[in-house]
Structure 1
């Protein structure tokens, strides 16, 4: 199972206004949003929809969980629906337009956005104000930071992040050991430049261009409170310039700036670079695809603020049985059930609750090879401070970002001009207006 990548967010933007018009929904949780009491007797049938999770590994888990909830509430029936991975966003928008959204469904923050704008999802802040403290802070914020809309529209379910991976055998001849690996972006770029110079460009530690997440990791604000992109700052310029300096010193493969780029993980596996990023499962890739690197590679925490990949559980605001739907959503995402699900993933994902990570680590680390166990522990430790990339950042924006930043790194444009152009492009193509 993989973290679901951002799916055609531009499509969501294009259909958001049409969705609002077709459904007549109000922005946010709808005019009737308010407390939802789940403490009374529950009854009725609700539909629960997941995204490509009905398989040999996870079907028994969901069947047992649903049976447990139905046993606790004998007058309730939960109908489980699973949608295939491809075309999921199209399916969600079709369901919303036809007023057939399931009562409880699984949406990442970006796919949830048009439904939030159309008033199709329940505001959980109003439904149950005590929920926030039970969940991972970054995961909760990912469903709360919808510009122009108050409220929270998803319960964090399963989360991911990644780590830094280093080929120690490649860098040790240049004085870099596990004990003195860089821990900040500045230190990493300085080290990359030094190693490239000392090795005559044979050892390269910059395996990809910076992205918006680079600025997030550095603690730089990337958006104003109203959703306007605003990362064309002197601090961001300095980061881009450091990449340009590293590139000039031979610390970065030229192909990382082109359309033929295969990705930093693939380049690491091929031995072309000595640094990459990846989750705990990358240890398995090393063992199967590059066994000679597996014994010389080590994972460390990502510098600065780590990235956060979020999946959540949402409630349809059109549900005729919000009490049962919310009760089931809370049951599905409580710490006990989230821990069990994360254990089932082998520690590849962490629970979206405020606690429970230690239980997952203890349960699965004995079955993992040391490198994977260490990477999992690093990922879990990073989650309390991890942050998701803003949902407004689209694939088109990322493509334009890469084009302009590549010019700046090569010296064909100043970092300031590149960032000014990117911010202007992003604000002209905002999906939340």
Structure 2
């Protein structure tokens, strides 16, 4: 969960200047013999999940005699830059752990195996929305096995809601209700929100984010969204600290009961129980706030580079790692969810036992079936910073919401080129 709050806002390192070649050719066919040695690279899974990954590796090697899987785990810091540097040098591992926005520049540069071509029968094994997350928008092809997913509920402080005269059992379900309740809380000097909206929040609001190879979130609905946040900010419903670049204190503010609402995951409940028991006693749990009816989804996957000298074994391992059985085991260990079409049918994700943790888990598993990865794969970390800066200017009245969004979209499209 420390990995940028499980995938939220992960940066796609720009391809420009990295020397990525679009003429990369395959070294072997997916239909070749499953044998020999491959290297499998993960992102900050040691030491917590060492036994699990080693177990998967051992099971694969036992099933496919004559194979050797060398597992390497890279630290979180600098992972994205390392992947791009390896891509430039033509030295990517055979199977590599990536989120969609890192697979995108590699796939666009012709560096990853297209699973739709090489493994035509694999697609039905995964949730359709998870498979689509690893496609190049508008061009098709899938360039990663979906691995683990997450989505979450919204937590709110029932005591603060009640103090403001709000019904503690009727939290906001959409953005109109969010603003109405936030303004009522602000009258009691209580801030509803601890962070400015992300690009995914624009998607949840119903804004068209990207169309015809360019960003479009400055459309009328996007301006309407920022105007709503401006009203909340002016009333004191959004804390000023949220306007700071790379601000990461929103969770701490919620735990200190200085804000009334915060997005989260099933993982957070245990943290509330141990670190903020007075908050836990008043915790409310509700569905994500959305105008579209679909929650936001975060996900990771594994891709196979075309430069792999043992593609057949690499593809077989990627598929084995992400099969239903292995994903369910991992999900139970890590407070995440499987991306396979059958994984979510396990009783662990469908049956409540009376605990809050199980209630959150079952609800999240259900909403993942229709969830959307709202963050465009083209949206880089530089673009995130540009949007945040323009939103800050809009909140502070330095620019109108329309001008701020126009400037953000222009900068994002410039960076895209």
TM-score scaled by length of structure 2: 0.89
Distance 2:98 2:246 in 1: 32
Deviations 1:313-369 (A, max 9, x none): 111212232222211111111111110111121xx2111212322427359976xx9
- Does the 8 Å CA contact 1:33/1:123 hold for their aligned counterparts? no
Q: Is 2:151 aligned against 1:164?
A: no
Distance 2:351 2:58 in 1: 25
1:264-413 matches, within 5 Å, as 264-304=250-290, 305-345=294-334, 348-359=335-346, 361=348, 370-388=355-373, 389-413=375-399
For 2:83, the equivalent position in structure 1 comes to 92
How big is the shift at 1:137?
A: 2.8
How big is the shift at 1:4?
A: 4.6
For 1:213, the equivalent position in structure 2 comes to 200
Pick the aligned partner of 1:180 from 163, 170, 173.
Answer: 170
Distance 1:45 1:222, change over 3 A: same
For 1:223, the equivalent position in structure 2 comes to 210
How big is the shift at 1:32?
A: 5.8
SS at match of 1:405: helix
- Does the 8 Å CA contact 1:47/1:80 hold for their aligned counterparts? yes
For 1:138, the equivalent position in structure 2 comes to 129
Q: Is 2:408 aligned against 1:418?
A: no
- Does the 8 Å CA contact 2:344/2:350 hold for their aligned counterparts? no
SS at match of 2:169: helix
Pick the aligned partner of 1:69 from 40, 55, 60.
Answer: 60
How big is the shift at 1:85?
A: 2.5
Pick the aligned partner of 2:141 from 151, 155, 167.
Answer: 151
Q: Is 2:80 aligned against 1:78?
A: no
1:1-150 matches, within 5 Å, as 2=2, 3-4=6-7, 6=9, 9-10=12-13, 12-16=14-18, 18-20=19-21, 25-26=22-23, 36-37=30-31, 42-55=34-47, 57-146=48-137, 150=140
- Cα RMSD for the two superposed structures: 2.6
Unaligned 5+ segments in structure 1 are none
Unaligned 5+ segments in structure 2 are none
Distance 1:414 1:208 in 2: 19
Distance 1:360 1:104, change over 3 A: farther
When structure 1 is superposed on structure 2, of 396-405 and 216-225 the one drifting more is: 396-405
Distance 1:341 1:76, change over 3 A: same
How big is the shift at 1:146?
A: 4.9
When structure 1 is superposed on structure 2, of 80-89 and 334-343 the one drifting more is: 80-89
Distance 2:247 2:76 in 1: 25
SS at match of 2:218: coil
Distance 1:417 1:91, change over 3 A: closer
Deviations 1:384-413 (A, max 9, x none): 222221122222222222222223234443
SS at match of 2:273: helix
Distance 1:100 1:254 in 2: 45
SS at match of 2:228: helix
TM-score scaled by length of structure 1: 0.86
Distance 2:81 2:383 in 1: 21
Distance 1:276 1:42 in 2: 47
How big is the shift at 1:156?
A: 0.7
Pick the aligned partner of 1:252 from 231, 238, 246.
Answer: 238
- Does the 8 Å CA contact 2:29/2:312 hold for their aligned counterparts? no
When structure 1 is superposed on structure 2, of 388-397 and 265-274 the one drifting more is: 388-397
Distance 2:86 2:397 in 1: 48
